[in-house]
Amino acid sequence: MQNLTLLDGQKFQITIQRLCHQLIENHDDFSNSVILGIQPRGIYLANRIASELKQILPQANILHGSLDITFFRDDFRRREIPLLPNATSIDFIIEGKKVILVDDVLWTGRTIRSAMDAMLAFGRPQKVELLVLVDRRFSRDLPIEPDYIGIQVDSINSQRVIVSWKETDKEDTVILLSEKD
């Protein structure tokens, strides 16, 4: 296994801040916007973005929740055992709102397709945007592109991108793992 660190320390922090400022450009005071982190790994980024936004805009009310997509996946009965669900917590209304879907890594785009399906069970948003920390470009299975990107990575299928968070894994890093042959 070979590790390549793509983001860590101050650079990681700067990337998050840049994403926040890009969001503010499009969403002003977030009075008509909500943030949805995709379970299981997107919620850490969503929480981080939300708390960072609160510091930049102290008077704004930033609504953020988590969305589980397990029951909307397209690989049910195609893997050995079904994936287990996580909690969905959306205690606000998304009907007519601008929704920002948040996930850590965008790869094939299948998760995002499921997320759009799952989200529609809660209402019809006015607009949906996608924010990701890592975009593994040129590897999409579906026609889905992000609106806000932390970093772009060129990777091959056998490689893995691992995002770690201070809250659960002690430090903020993005690592590209390659199988050594």
Partner 1 sequence: MADQNRGLSTKHLLGIKDLNERDIQLIFETADTFKDVLNRPIKKVPSLRDVTIANVFFENSTRTRLSFELAQKRLSADTINFAASSSSVSKGETLIDTVNNILAMKVDMIVMRHPYPGAGVFLSKHVNAQIVNAGDGAHEHPTQALLDAFSIREKLGDVAGKKVAIIGDILHSRVALSNILCLQMLGAEVMVCGPTTLIPKYIKSLGVKVEYNLMNALNWCDVANMLRIQMERQDIKYFPSLREYSMMYGVNKQILDSLDKEIVIMHPGPINRGVEITSDVADSKQSIILDQVENGVAIRMAVLYLLAGQKP
Secondary element (H or E) of residue 120: helix 110-120
Counting Cβ atoms within 10 Å, is residue 76 exposed (0-12), middle (13-18) or buried (19+)?
exposed
Q: Kindly state the tokens that stand for 7.
A: 């983001």
Counting Cβ atoms within 10 Å, is residue 39 exposed (0-12), middle (13-18) or buried (19+)?
buried
**Closest distance of CB 74 from partner 1, Å:** 9
Work out the widest C-alpha separation in the chain, in whole angstroms: 54
Closer to partner 1 by CB, 115 or 153: give it. Answer: 115
Other C-beta atoms lying within 10 Å of the C-beta of residue 13: 14
Choose, by CB under 8 A, the member of 29, 61, 82, 141 that binds partner 1.
82
Count of residues near partner 1 by CB under 8 A: 23
CA gyration radius for the chain?
A: 16
List, as own/partner pairs, every contact residues 148-151 make where C-beta atoms lie below 8 angstroms and the sequence separation is at least 24, other chains included: 148/19, 148/22, 148/23, 148/100, 150/7, 150/15, 150/16, 150/19, 150/174, 151/6, 151/7, 151/15
**Closest distance of CB 4 from partner 1, Å:** 25
Q: Which amino acid is at 6?
A: L
Closer to partner 1 by CB, 1 or 81: give it. Answer: 81
1-20 positions binding partner 1, by CB under 8 A: none
Closer to partner 1 by CB, 19 or 94: give it. Answer: 94
**Closest distance of CB 142 from partner 1, Å:** 17
x/- contact string, 135-174, with partner 1 (CB under 8 A)? ----------------------------------------
Choose, by CB under 8 A, the member of 1, 2, 59, 84 that binds partner 1.
84
x/- contact string, 37-76, with partner 1 (CB under 8 A)? ---x---------------------------x-xxxx--x
- The residues that touch partner 1, with contacts defined as CB under 8 A, are 40, 68, 70-73, 76-88, 117, 121-123
